[in-house]
Structure 1
Amino acid sequence: MGPKLMKSIQVYEYGDIDVLKYEEVIVPAPNENEVLVRVYASAVLPIEWKIRKGFFKSFFPVSFPYIPGSSFSGEVIAVGESVKEYEIGQFVFGRNTKGTYTEYLTISEKELILLPNGLSFEDAVTISGGAATAWNALITEGQIKSGQKVLIHGAAGGVGQYAIQIAKQIGTEVIGTASTKNIEFVKNLGANQVIDYTKTQFENELNEVDFVFDTVGGKTLEQSWSVVKPGGKIVSIVEIPNAEKAEQLGVQAMKPSQLPSKEVFSKIANLIAQKKYKSTIFKSFSLHEAREAHKLSETGHGTGRIILKMNDSYKQ
């Protein structure tokens, strides 16, 4: 018999960080094709505080109360009767649409991925919404090629840190934009050039860029049109680029529409475990500190990923 109650973050209405309620709730029971996971870590993604504030409610409504979060890692502690691929005691990670700021969660076995040896729980949660997002935008849909000049905006962030490494491994010339305090961090990730956006307008420094990867949006995306060459690409994970402008300039522009596959998750997990890619954790919080984690995420100036650790006593 497993635990009957668990700690969880519940949100009952849109609002500021005070709507994140740390409460005790009933542990969910897995259906026949589901697995019950004891969560050890969860990522705190920027989209989560935007959802909490109601920025997307017109096209992405939520049902209250809800548990925030999507990226998790942990241990299988129970399996449904029809589950074939997983067993109790295995370490797993993945993306869960039912929320991850919680001590336990249920998830379909089809959506679960085994944690490879050498990959920590903390590193695993940087994949969904981070490494997998970058991989999908650059490789699966963007199809970057060796020898191209690639500009990455927000290069120090949870997505940008991986985008730099992925683009570099493909064999591109990588240029990143970052704030002053993050210049060395982005250089150490492998960028050929880093532009300090607090001091220099990148559009005055660059031209003939083959590929722009935008994780910022707004003014940054708008200014990117002037640096990409005809036949080049602009891919934004934040907003849909102006199709009319793209046609006028002879540029391909898109917002990725696919979710990364399990195969992509597994490939990236193994690359991190093999030290081919490096993950960076900006700061860790306990589950009851979710408000502080969201507050930090809203500043938008971190290096790497903010995470929640549900249990400090686990052994891996």
Structure 2
Amino acid sequence: MKKPFILCCITLIAIAPVCFSQGKPAKAGKSAANESTVSDLEKSAWEAYKNKQADAFKALMSKDYYGVYPEGMKTLDTELADMAKSDLRDYSFSDVKVVFPHPKMAVMTYKAKVQASADGKDISGTYNCGSIWIQQGGKWVGAFHSEAKTQYVETARLGPLHVGARPRRLHQLLVMRIARQLTLLAGLAASPVLLTTLKAQSATPTMKAVVIHQYGGPEVLKYEDIPRPEPKDDQLLIRVIAAGVNPVDGMIRSGMFDKEGKRAFPIILGGDVAGVVEKVGSKITKFKAGDPVFAYVSLDNSGGYAEYALVTEREAAPKPKSLTYVQAAAVPIVAMTAWQALVDTAQLNAGQTVLVHGGSGGVGSFAIQIAKARRAKVIATASTANQDFLRQLGADTAVDYTKQKFEDVAKNVDVVLDSIGGDTLARSYGVVKKGGIIVSLVARPKESELEKHGIRGIALNVEPNSEELAEIGNLIDNKKIKVIVSQRFPLSEAMKAQEQVATGHTRGKIVLKVGDEPK
């Protein structure tokens, strides 16, 4: 234990103080503890620690709690040893909140402002703290302490508890539920022993974000307050004004890219952002605070469904001057995907022909315009309702896939851009001329079919590239590319936005409005 004090946040992270009411144990069966009682009893433990009263402090520990969890005795021994080396000079509580999910249980959260040092280092600051109390043996017993996030600990969020269960079992269930919700310990639900030591953290600024705590459908998206990230030396912190919504967001949400379960929760989704640089790391040279930017947020960084996002220089570019932030947020992923498919991979040139499947979608709408900017001929597919839209984007030939087969129209094309897969991909091999290429965004082309037709094929893996994103921005400002935003939702309605994207019938992009645009 590196920082030997701050109750429930430094070395008292796992203490279990006994609750006293005016110096006497509270009797079982009496009325539930109120806020004043619990707050006073919390302070009793702090006073014992502050005054280095080892026996009094040890008496405040929950014998049952530490008996149930063997790890606890080791933690208690560490607490007592560290007490002698710590120096708690002053403390105060604020934002005290007590909720009662069970007549024999109370949950308390609060902020503790402390002046203290440990191992010769000053650790003064404000800490978010939480504790659980149960009635046991005729008195209120502190059963769990931890660094916590006040806004998450609400009775309504904890779910139903079996009121007939014994207090100790209720305590175990509640502790695990709260810890899972706060993501205090990764993998807690699968742990055979509830660990009681949690990492100390100073209270940090928070932000609104849409996160997932598990993989699944749109219903796993949660709109929450979480700590605001801080940029590393090679990162920019962006105040997000708008964030794009893409099909890949749903794939990440479902766990498609994490088959081995290596990513830690919570995860913030969203790869498209547009906003203003809030802060830069020491190694950043291309941007400064206040710069308007748009960016492709990689999986390695915090996502765009949040009020703030982290990106590296290779992921960001100056926002096109002709676009609003909402429009700019519709660009990065789909435009980079279309660019890297047609320009980097297929090396599409003037006079060549490209077949774009799903031409009215996010990637398709950019692919048509990028191809036309390179003076290529474009055949694009879409539903009946989007035929005029394809022509407005610049498609030379619009194919209504509900009425005709694309292979009856597209013959001997140089490039196929596939965003559909399945039967559409299977029928595409035969329309490519020898030496041509199929670039698929959703599946790996079959080697046997590629060899049979004498063509190439690749499953595209898009990478952030600030230079290419800037070049796309220039095309937009020079009116070579139009940005189409079909719908926008507030950040809190990210689930609705993802459900709409999942229909596969959007025209252009769907965007989340996150923050206010600069005046």
Q: Tell me if the contact between 2:271 and 2:297 (Cα under 8 Å) persists in the aligned partners.
A: yes
Instruction: Report whether the alignment pairs 1:36 with 2:237.
Output: yes
* Cα pair distance change 1:308/1:61, threshold 3 Å: farther
* Cα pair distance change 1:80/1:148, threshold 3 Å: closer
Deviation of 1:241 after TM superposition, in Å, equals 0.6
* Cα pair distance change 1:17/1:77, threshold 3 Å: same
Range with bigger deviation, 92-101 or 263-272: 92-101
Q: CA separation in 2, counterparts of 1:78 and 1:270?
A: 25
Instruction: Report whether the alignment pairs 1:134 with 2:322.
Output: no
Q: Which residue of 2 aligns with 1:195?
A: 399
Q: Which residue of 2 aligns with 1:315?
A: 518
Can you give the 5+ residue segments of structure 1 that lack an aligned partner in the other structure?
Answer: none
Q: Equivalent residue of 2:468, what SS?
A: helix
Q: CA separation in 2, counterparts of 1:32 and 1:129?
A: 25
Instruction: Report whether the alignment pairs 1:263 with 2:464.
Output: no
Q: Which residue of 2 aligns with 1:180?
A: 384
RMSD: 1.8
Range with bigger deviation, 251-260 or 134-143: 251-260
Runs of 4+ in 1 over 6 A off after TM superposition: none
Q: CA separation in 2, counterparts of 1:112 and 1:314?
A: 18
Q: Deviations over 1:160-191 (max 9, x none)?
A: 00111111222222110001111110111111
* Cα pair distance change 1:96/1:260, threshold 3 Å: closer
> Which of 424, 431, 437 is matched with 1:227 structurally?
431
Q: Which has the higher contact order (CA 8 A, sep 6+)?
A: 1
Q: Which residue of 2 aligns with 1:286?
A: 490
Q: CA separation in 2, counterparts of 1:19 and 1:7?
A: 16
**TM-score of the pair, normalised by structure 2:** 0.58
Deviation of 1:264 after TM superposition, in Å, equals 0.6
Q: Tell me if the contact between 1:119 and 1:269 (Cα under 8 Å) persists in the aligned partners.
A: no
Q: Tell me if the contact between 2:371 and 2:378 (Cα under 8 Å) persists in the aligned partners.
A: yes
Range with bigger deviation, 53-62 or 76-85: 53-62
Q: Which residue of 2 aligns with 1:304?
A: 508
Range with bigger deviation, 100-109 or 78-87: 78-87
* Cα pair distance change 1:231/1:129, threshold 3 Å: same
Q: Tell me if the contact between 2:208 and 2:307 (Cα under 8 Å) persists in the aligned partners.
A: yes
Q: Which residue of 2 aligns with 1:65?
A: 266
Q: CA separation in 2, counterparts of 1:33 and 1:233?
A: 37
Q: Equivalent residue of 1:269, what SS?
A: helix
Larger Rg: 2
Q: CA separation in 1, counterparts of 2:282 and 2:348?
A: 43
**TM-score of the pair, normalised by structure 1:** 0.93
Q: CA separation in 1, counterparts of 2:411 and 2:260?
A: 36
Instruction: Report whether the alignment pairs 1:204 with 2:408.
Output: yes
Q: Equivalent residue of 2:430, what SS?
A: coil
Paired-residue identity, %: 39
* Cα pair distance change 1:300/1:61, threshold 3 Å: farther
Q: Deviations over 1:50-77 (max 9, x none)?
A: 2212333327853221000111111112
Query: Between Structure 1 and Structure 2, how many residues are aligned?
Result: 313
Letter in 1 for 2:206: L
